[in-house]
Chains A and B, each alone.
Chain A
Amino acid sequence: MSETEIVDGRGFVMTRTDTSPMGIPIRFRADLSEFSIAKTEGKSEQINLHLTHARLQLLRGFDELLCLEGLSGVEHLPHQIETVRKVLRRFRGRVLLADEVGLGKTIEACLLLREYLLRRLIRRVLILVPNPLVSQWADELSGKFHLDFTIAPRTATSNCDEFWTEHDRVLVSTSFARTGLRPKAIASASWDLVIVDEAHHCRNRTTRLWKLVNSLNRRHMFLLSATPVQNNLVELYNLLTLLEPGHLKTEADFKKQFVTRGNPRDPRNRQRLRELLGEVMIRNTRGLVNINLPPRYAQTILATPGQEESQLMNDIQQYLRAQLTVIATKESATGKTSISSFDSKQQASDESEQDISEGFDGTSVETSEIEPQALTASNGKTGLSRMRLHAILTAMGSHPATAAVALEPLAMTDRVARELCNRAGRITHSAKDQKLLQLLKENHAHKILLFVGAIRTLHRLQALLTEAGVAYSTFSGEQSANEKDAAVEQLKSSVNLMICTESGGEGRNLQFADTLINYDLPWNPMKIEQRIGRIHRYGQTQDVYVFNLCTAGTLESRILRILNDKIRMFELVVGEVGSILGNLDEGQEFESIVLQLWQKASDEQQLDADFETLGDTLVTAQEKYLDAKSLDESLFGEDYE
Chain B
Amino acid sequence: MSRTNIESQLSDFATALVENSGGLIDWHADGSQAIVMVPNDLAKSLGQRHDTFLVKTQPSDEGLSLSLGGEFLDLAGRTLRQFVPSIGIFAMEDISVKKTEFSAIVDASFEWQNARCKVLQRNPMILPYHTWWFHASLQSEENWETIIPVTINARSGVCLPITELMNLDGLKPAKKSLAEVSETLEPVLRFAEAETLRMAAPFIQRIDARRERDRKRLQDYYRALLQESFMPNKRTKMMPTGEEIDSRNKAVKLELHRKLSEMDERYSCNAVLRPIAMAEVQMPSIAIDVEIQRKVQKRIFRIFWNALTRQLEPMLCTRCQGSFRSFWFTNEIVEPVCSSCHNKGQNC
Contact = CB atoms under 8 A, between A and B. Distances in A.
Interface of A: 4, 12, 14, 16, 18, 20-32, 34-37, 39-60, 63-70, 92, 118-119, 121, 217, 219, 244-247, 249-250, 252-253, 481
A28 B193 contact: yes
Contact of A22 (B59, B212, B228, B278): B212
5 contacts: A47-B279, A49-B80, A51-B133, A69-B70, A119-B143
B65 A70 contact: yes
A294 B268 CA distance: 51
A26 B61 CA distance: 42
A114 B171 CA distance: 44
A194 to B, nearest CB: 12
A71 to B, nearest CB: 8
A250 B225 CA distance: 7
Nearest to B271: A28
A407 B279 CA distance: 71
B181 A37 contact: yes
Closest 5 CB pairs of A and B: A246-B221, A66-B69, A42-B85, A42-B88, A22-B208
A608 B218 CA distance: 56
A50 B1 contact: no
Interface string B67-106: 1111001001100110011111110000000000000000
Nearest to A247: B217
A253 B61 CA distance: 55
A49 to B, nearest CB: 5
Interface residues of B, number: 81
B67 A42 contact: no
B268 A32 contact: no
Contacts of A69: 59, 65, 67-70
B147 A55 contact: yes
Contact of B189 (A14, A45, A55): A14
Contacts of B182: 12, 37
Interface stretch (B13-21, B33-41, B107-115, B338-346): B13-21
Nearest to B141: A92
Interface string B265-302: 01111111111111110000000000000000000000
B259 to A, nearest CB: 6
B208 A56 contact: no
Contacts of A119: 143
A413 to B, nearest CB: 40
A68 B208 contact: no
Given A29-B270, A70-B70, A250-B224, A40 B77 contact: no
A505 B270 CA distance: 46
Interface in B170-219: 171, 173, 177, 181-182, 185-186, 189, 193, 196-197, 204-205, 207-209, 211-212, 217-218
Contact of B204 (A14, A20, A54, A244): A20
B59 A53 contact: no
A146 to B, nearest CB: 10
Given A42-B87, A46-B84, A249-B221, A53 B275 contact: no
Contacts of B224: 249-250, 252-253
Given A49-B84, A69-B67, A57 B73 contact: yes
Contacts of A247: 217
A46 B181 CA distance: 17
Contacts of A59: 1, 6, 9, 68
A585 B106 CA distance: 82
B10 interface: yes
B269 A60 contact: no
B121 interface: no
Nearest to A251: B228
Contact of B273 (A29, A58, A92, A253): A29
Contacts of A249: 220-221, 224
B86 A50 contact: yes
B13 A49 contact: yes
B233 interface: no
B128 to A, nearest CB: 12
Nearest to A37: B181
B318 interface: no
B244 interface: no
B271 A219 contact: no
A123 to B, nearest CB: 12
Given A28-B272, A34-B274, A58-B146, 5 more contacts: A40-B89, A41-B89, A49-B84, A54-B135, A60-B68
A48 B168 CA distance: 13
B46 to A, nearest CB: 13
B68 A20 contact: no
B138 interface: yes
A338 B74 CA distance: 49
Nearest to A69: B69
B142 interface: yes
A40 B69 contact: no
B319 to A, nearest CB: 14
B345 to A, nearest CB: 18
Given A24-B211, A42-B277, A250 B221 contact: yes
Given A25-B269, A32-B275, A250-B224, A45 B13 contact: no
Contacts of A244: 217
Given A69-B68, A70-B59, A58 B145 contact: yes
B207 to A, nearest CB: 6
A26 B17 CA distance: 35
Contacts of B145: 58
B26 interface: no
B88 A46 contact: yes
A385 B111 CA distance: 90
A24 B138 CA distance: 12
A212 to B, nearest CB: 15
A46 B269 contact: no
Given A49-B13, A245-B218, A245-B259, A56 B68 contact: yes
A85 B86 CA distance: 35
A29 B271 contact: yes
Nearest to B147: A54
B306 interface: no
A47 B10 contact: no
B181 A40 contact: yes
Contacts of B89: 40-41
B246 interface: no
Given A22-B208, A28-B273, A246 B135 contact: no
